[in-house]
Structure 1
Amino acid sequence: MASHTARVASLSWKDYILSRGSRSGHIHHHVRVADHFTLSGHSQDVCGLKWSPDGRYLASGGNDNLVYVWSGVQDGSGQGSSSVHCFSEHQGAVKALTWCPWEHNILASGGGTRDCCIWNVNCGSCINGLDTQSQISSLMFAPNYKELVSSLGYSHNNVVIW
């Protein structure tokens, strides 16, 4: 799969679709058919990708400090694929993305500085913001509890359950 001309920085599977994000800012979808398609929006590295649990949305985070939420890519054809939201509230590269397992319209995103946002993608708004006091390396909703877990880099280098 050699469609990228720059570093491939992130991957995410959904059924038969493999989504790849690259330094060029493009997201390429490879499906188990002959045709592949590309989503364009980011101006820098796509360094985070995550499909929603119900497969309706793909979230992408970039070195351009943006979070995109894409729809219309669930069938693999690329027809009608578009950006539903572009969130620009982060102050650093967005590598950490996770979808809520019990509310499929809730997305958490973490910037490389210290900011975490929790989004409602149905209405396109930030419903909560967290100042983690440290770089966010990854985010994950706990599967059995209504908690968000963050792993943090500089300067705290720890794990926090919110």
Structure 2
Amino acid sequence: MHTAGIIAGMEEPGTRVPVTHEHCDHVTGPFFHGTRTAFAVGDELAPGHGSTFQEGRVSNNVYFTAVLETAVWGAELATALAGDEERGHVYVVEPLGSFEDDPNVTDKRFPGNPTQSYRTRSPLRVVGEVDDWEGHAPEVLQGMLDSLARLREQGLDVIED
């Protein structure tokens, strides 16, 4: 995993302004969404579909990021968790409404939101696809999957949605 960009994006404690639905205009893209699903430019990704991370759960939000690496993880995990052998997709997206920090990662592992992960109840419009993204080594991906499985076994795979 390339952590340099994530670590470098960390703010000094107390200087970060949380991103809320009322205060999100200062956050600029490009924005990315990683998934196993194929979309076309112009398609809209909307809430109300099954969660990638919890079987049987319908997501009330659509998740996206301003960090390509984070979207790559999304694409890889979505395909791996679905048992799909195909390569996932990373899209450039445009939020069509307000958005907020993703509470599932913000302040949970690193202070602030260094992965620049957000969620919205409004659609995201696909404006392009990143074709040349590099995936993680199989052992790194397996390590992340094992970590997610441990969280699930411990009942700690809670998603605030």
Please report the TM-score for the alignment, with normalisation by the length of structure 2: 0.24
Report the structure, 1 or 2, having the larger helix content: 2
**Comparing both structures, which one devotes a greater share of its residues to strand?**
1
TM-score (norm 1): 0.24
Structure scoring higher RCO (CA < 8 A, sep ≥ 6) equals 2
